[in-house]
Amino acid sequence: MDIYTPDEQLHRFHAQQQQRDRFIMRSLAVAPVDRKAFAHDVESDIIDRLRENHYVSRTAANEHFDLLVDGLRIEVKAAALSGGRYQAAMRSNDADVLVFVCHDGEKKHYFVIPFEHVAGLTHIEICNTDPTAYAGWMRRWYDAWHLIDQLIAAGLNRYQMQLL
């Protein structure tokens, strides 16, 4: 017979509850069939949008960011509507800007966020089926593409040699 402390019992209960919630959310999800193709399409849309004014390149698969825009490191997270929210995991990312894309099936909604506001988070989510009606802490960065131009103009380029 196993005897658990109250903290261990709470942890076990929470783990079981999380597992049940994940199962329910997966069954309700309307996620894209091929996630890699979905992510690649979203990145391509962002590249097309930024290529007009900037030099944009994709990074290797093992990098901690997805795009390099005039020396600015950009991480792209894409999420489809699932269980009434948009959610993406944040693992081993190191960038200057996060572009969180919410795809509702018809239109893509972009949140362009300075990375220091999401650094250390394990996931990012918008608990609203309509990203334009979202009123949470990320609202001020909805379609904030000017942020990329401002950071590039400020000279934020980690790959440029510093003058001594």
Q: What are the C-alpha distances in Å from 79 to residues 21, 23, 76, 125, 126?
A: 18, 18, 10, 9, 10
Tell me what pLDDT residue 129 has. Answer: 87
| The model's pTM | 0.73
Q: Where are the domains of the chain?
A: 1-30, 31-153
3-state secondary structure of 29: coil
The structure tokens listed for 71 are: 């020396």
Is the pLDDT score of 72 beyond 70? yes
Q: CB neighbours of 132 closer than 8 A, spacing ≥ 6?
A: 109, 142
Where residue 87 falls among pLDDT bands split at 50, 70, 90? very high
pLDDT of residue 28: 55
Residue that the structure tokens 């990329």 belong to = 148
Q: What is the DSSP string of 127-160?
A: --S-GGG--STTGGGBT-THHHHHHHHTT--TTS
Architecture of domain 31-153: 3-Layer(aba) Sandwich (3.40)
In tens, the pLDDT along 19-48 reads 887 776 665 555 555 778 888 888 899 989
